[in-house]
Structure 1
Amino acid sequence: MIDPYVMLGVERQADAEAIKAAYRKAAKSSHPDTGGDVAQFSRLQACYELLKDPVRRKVYDSTGYDPQLADPIDLKGILMLETLVSDFILDEREPGSFDPVAAMRRKLSDDIVKSRFHILELERHRARVRQHIDRLGRRPAADILGSMLRTRSQSIADAIRNAEIQIEAIEQAYTLLEGYAYELEALPEVKAAE
């Protein structure tokens, strides 16, 4: 996540005029017409747009998050956490009687294992399809079966890549949980029978 205050070089308490002045100064050196990097200038503009909008700025200041400045993998991780948060909010157990953060970590770890197993299965299927392609005699005029098998192999390769992207998002969600701890209620001590 890009910090718009750092990007523009202003304090968090900066007013609209200070933000505008900082943007203009930074834009002079980073504008593509003056030899600046297009991507860097685009990020600078996005930061300025966030800070000049009072509502977006307030949300960012409260949460440290703005969807337009977030990395796509971060967004996917956040969406995964959103689902997990919904799950533990709906859990009927009393707050403090279970650790929802640990439960989210376990769920994410389980999802990574399942995704990796799924990739292994897909790779096994793709290898089999390739072996069939290698053994298939081709007809000179049209190679319908070969075309179908190559298409299937490509579809499996795409599924593998999607599973790898899913793992990256799960790992990012897990990273976003770092530093969180959940305080459980102390269990009452059981007195020994006399």
Structure 2
Amino acid sequence: MNEGSAGVIDPYAMLGLERDASGEAIRLAWRKAAKGAHPDAGGDTDHFNRLQIAYELLQDPVRRRVYDDTGYDPQLADPKDLEGVLMLESLVNEVILDEREPGSFDPVAAMRRKLSDDIVKSRFHILELERHRARVRKHIDRLGRRPETDVLGSMLRARSEAIADAIRKTEKQIETIEHTYTMLEGYSYEVEVLAPLEEVEMDVAEPQRGEAAE
């Protein structure tokens, strides 16, 4: 959560604090900054409001922990960003648990592939749901009506609506995955370039030939 993220400031930078600042240090920094920024003292209202937001965020242990872990304020961030953060957190955990040597693979590319695969799977799932719902609708159209309570018709209509709800949820999930993918834009990762096996073997063999010549 910084100036480039939905226009929200970094609370630590706003109050001139280190990230490990104590509660007392936060209060002192707030009082010092607010004293000259208060509108009654001729300060700018917008600047004072930003100081107030920064102070409230850092004084709330839950909001501060979420900000420290994600860079987002849970009360001010776009819900889509928070959903994306949760999805990225899961992907980051997978990278941390990957036992391959850092630099031997590109974790950012792996995250992008995982998100892309999830989008494809979700779209395929929607197609399956739509086919299933179409079959239910055909059953409803062909079902003879009883003069009493239409138990079977009610059940089939309820099933059709449940499938429609599942489709809507999956579409929402796709939107979240796509938004999460955009949050990875701009990132790159330096992967070590290993020499081809043939070159490595030649490097190892060369001293042996030299030793034999001696």
State TM-score, norm by structure 2. Answer: 0.68
| Structure-2 change in CA distance of 1:113 and 1:143 (3 Å) | same
Residue 70, structure 1, aligned to residue 84, structure 2: no
Counterpart amino acid of 2:123? R
The equivalent position to 1:21 in structure 2, one of 38, 43, 49, is 38
The equivalent position to 2:185 in structure 1, one of 136, 157, 178, is 178
Residue in 2 aligned with 1:36?
none
Q: CA deviation at 1:24?
A: 9.8
Report the identity percentage: 67
Structure 1 distance, partners of 2:132, 2:98, is: 39
| Structure-2 change in CA distance of 1:113 and 1:58 (3 Å) | closer
Matches within 5 A, 1:40-55: 49-50=56-57
Q: CA deviation at 1:160?
A: 0.4
Residue in 2 aligned with 1:12?
14
Bigger Rg over Cα: 2
The root-mean-square deviation of aligned C-alpha atoms, in Å, is 3.6
Structure 2 distance, partners of 1:90, 1:132, is: 48
Q: CA deviation at 1:129?
A: 0.9
Counterpart amino acid of 2:125? H
Residue 111, structure 1, aligned to residue 113, structure 2: no
Residue 163, structure 1, aligned to residue 170, structure 2: yes
Residue in 1 aligned with 2:103?
96
SS at match of 1:97: coil
| Structure-2 change in CA distance of 1:169 and 1:87 (3 Å) | same
Structure 1 distance, partners of 2:57, 2:133, is: 46
| Structure-2 change in CA distance of 1:70 and 1:158 (3 Å) | same
Gaps of 5+ in 1: 27-44
Greater RCO between the two (CA within 8 Å, min separation 6)? 1
CA contact (8 A) 1:105 1:174 kept: yes
CA contact (8 A) 1:46 1:69 kept: no
Counterpart amino acid of 1:143? D
Structure 1 distance, partners of 2:53, 2:127, is: 40
Q: CA deviation at 1:186?
A: 2.1
Gaps of 5+ in 2: 17-28, 47-51, 207-214
State TM-score, norm by structure 1. Answer: 0.74
CA contact (8 A) 1:2 1:69 kept: no
1:92-135 alpha-carbon deviations (Å, 9 max, x no partner): 11100000110110010000000001001101111111111111
Counterpart amino acid of 2:175? E
Counterpart amino acid of 1:16? W
Q: CA deviation at 1:52?
A: 5.7
SS at match of 1:168: helix
